[in-house]
Chain A
Amino acid sequence: MFVPGFTVWYNVKSIERTLAFYTEKLGFEVLFHNPEWGMAMVKTNTEGCVIGFSEAETVEPSTSSTVFDVENIDDAVSKLKRLDVSFSGEIEVIDDFVKLATFADPDGHSLMLSEQLTQL
């Protein structure tokens, strides 16, 4: 039924500000950008996994997190902090399962880094 491919969509206040964050800070690549329509998509480093953005007059920050896997969460957090990404709280550890760090994009949409502590 399903084919490989996964997209997360967000309402955002400014496409330009959002793209700057996702490309310059997170390092993703713009897949598509239409300024007239206030929409864009970025490619994550996982094949077929894309994030879409569409400008809206009213934006409610999403509390459901998109979680990006990283190899070493301490390194990743330090790297993003140097780029002025602000994290909420410290790195949280779910014993023998995962380490998590929560940050937000410019519209306050919740994002997370995760380092797997066990092979699923």
Chain B
Amino acid sequence: MSKEQFVLQLAQQLSGRWTIPILLSLESSGGRFTPLQRQLDIAPARLSDNLKQLSDAELIHHLTPLERRHPLLPEYKLTEKGKLYREAAQAIRSSEAQIGHGTLSAKAWNMPVLVALNYQHGRFQEIRRVLQPVTPRILSARLDELHVEELIVKQIADQPRPSFLYELSSLSERPITVLTADLSSLA
């Protein structure tokens, strides 16, 4: 896998409402379900689902009751991969703070689209190709939203045939460049 593919996948895997908050709060909540649930103010069933997904992705390890030597010890621990993803999550948070348009990563594909533009993939079909398996409908919706938020600019290119050309805006360019470098350094 090329560094670019790694970075795009990382940005995509860290999409979603709860992925980053869970990775960032797991240790401060002692790795236990109740403190984490209270800290994140999330419905218990939803937290369970998210923890299951993170477990399946091998970012966290769910300890069995037999592995836990004391009821106050963690129920979940970050794996080595999880620790790496937590660093990536911090980089995404810091980028979002610089951009100042909220938690962009809460919506799937926002960050991957911005990072793809940073890799100079400016045309719709090209972005779609590097962000597989994104659907054209979702990609189109995200590009429109990011355009409305003024995080990307849309130009018309004449060559080789008339089409839109997307680029990062002056607002997002610097933070996304830094983010791309940060994520790339984790490869």
With a cutoff of 8 Å between Cβ atoms, the chain A residues found around residue B70 in the complex are: 9
CB distance from B113 to the nearest CB of A (A): 35
Partner of B34, one of A10, A55, A60: A55
Nearest Cβ on chain B to A119's Cβ, whole angstroms:
35
Q: Which of B34, B48, B64 contacts A38 (CB 8 A)?
A: B34
- Which residue of chain B has its CB nearest to the CB of A57? B33
Contacts of B48 in A (CB 8 A): 57
Q: What separation, in Å, do the CA atoms of A52 and B73 have in the docked complex?
A: 13
- What chain B residues lie within 8 Å of A2 (beta carbons)? none
Question: Do the beta carbons of A36 and B32 come within 8 Å of each other?
Answer: no
CB distance from B123 to the nearest CB of A (A): 46
Residues of B within 8 A of A37 (CB): 30, 32, 34-35
B55 → chain A, closest Cβ, in Å? 11
Which chain B residue has the least Cβ–Cβ distance from A61? B65
Q: How many A-B residue pairs have CB under 8 A?
A: 47
Across the interface, do A56 and B71 meet the contact criterion of CB distance under 8 Å? yes
A38 to B37, CA, bound (A): 10
Q: Is there an interface contact between A39 and B65, defined as CB atoms closer than 8 Å?
A: no
Cross-chain contact of A54 among B51, B64, B71 (Cβ < 8 A): B71
Q: Contact between A55 and B38 (Cβ–Cβ < 8 Å)? A: no
Size of interface on A: residues with Cβ below 8 Å to B: 19
User: What's the minimum C-beta distance from A108 to chain B, rounded to whole angstroms?
Assistant: 13
Contacting A at CB under 8 A, from B25-75, are: 30, 32-35, 38, 48, 51, 64-65, 68, 70-72, 75
Interface residues of A in 19-78 (CB under 8 A from B): 35-39, 52-60
- A55 in contact with B72 (CB, 8 Å): no
A11 within 8 A of B: yes
In the complex, A75 Cα to B63 Cα: how many Å?
42
Partner of A58, one of B35, B38, B72, B75: B75
The 16 sampled A-B contact pairs (Cβ below 8 Å) are A9-B71, A10-B71, A11-B68, A11-B71, A37-B32, A37-B35, A38-B32, A38-B38, A52-B72, A54-B32, A54-B71, A54-B72, A55-B34, A57-B48, A58-B64, A59-B65
